[in-house]
């Protein structure tokens, strides 16, 4: 009985892993200040958010290049924007130390920001997603994303954002469970072969 229980538990954990599906995906464009809806979170569930791409926050500017990765790290920062090197800043170095983006102090320029409101009203409504973050929802809500900047019309590029449901840690089978599952599958297969053989003998 114990072996059967472990076998069934193993099946359940595999089902849980397979059910860890993509909960949403969208593109956050660098020239769009209005947050983009990424997906819906369910209360009590944990999610993984990842982002890739590049955002040019001063396309065609004569002052220099200003291209970022989702975590706010400069891909190319030259001329008046060289001060963003090497790790990024939470203010526009070409203007001054208080020239924050929409995310406010402490959130890097060019970084991907998240919010749970479609119409943020203050910097406190945003949090940093960057290249990736794990979230646990305290209620049913929608995740939105936007790129941190203070002036959007001359921006180009985008970040591709994915929201995935994370399986609980208990959903990852241990090696012993995998072994028990293999034994269980083998036993089921053997049982089926024996039944087929018995059926042929009775028919004969």
Predicted model pTM: 0.75
Q: What's the whole-number average pLDDT of the chain?
A: 84
Map out the domains of the chain as residue ranges: 1-19+169-204, 21-166
User: How far, CA to CA in Å, does 147 sit from each of 25, 29, 91, 94, 115?
Assistant: 15, 7, 14, 18, 11
DSSP class of residue 100?
A: B
Q: How far apart, in Å, do the first and last CA atoms of the chain sit?
A: 35
Could you confirm whether domain 21-166 is CATH 2.60.120.430?
yes
106-155 pLDDT, tens digit per residue, is 999 999 999 999 999 999 999 999 999 999 999 999 999 999 999 999 99
**In the block, residue with structure tokens 């203070």:** 150
What is the DSSP secondary structure assignment for residue 7, as one 8-state letter? H
């Amino acid at each position: 009985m114990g072996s059967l229980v472990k076998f069934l538990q193993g099946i359940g954990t595999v089902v849980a892993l397979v059910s860890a599906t993509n909960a949403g995906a969208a593109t956050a464009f660098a020239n769009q200040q209005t947050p983009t809806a990424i997906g819906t979170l369910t209360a009590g569930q944990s999610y993984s958010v990842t982002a890739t791409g590049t955002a040019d926050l001063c396309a065609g500017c004569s002052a220099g290049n200003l291209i970022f990765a989702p975590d706010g790290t400069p891909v190319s920062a030259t001329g008046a924007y060289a001060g963003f090197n090497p790790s990024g800043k939470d203010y526009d170095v070409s203007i001054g130390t208080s020239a924050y983006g929409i995310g406010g102090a402490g959130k890097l320029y060019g970084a991907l920001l998240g919010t749970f409101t479609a119409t943020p009203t203050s910097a406190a409504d945003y949090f940093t997603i960057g290249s990736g973050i794990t979230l646990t929802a305290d209620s049913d809500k929608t995740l939105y994303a936007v790129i941190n900047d203070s002036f959007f019309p001359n921006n180009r590029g985008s970040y591709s954002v994915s929201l995935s449901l994370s399986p609980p840690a208990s959903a990852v089978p241990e090696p012993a469970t995998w072994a028990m599952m293999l034994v269980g599958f083998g036993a089921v297969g053997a049982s089926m072969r024996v039944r087929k053989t018995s059926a042929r003998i009775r028919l004969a």
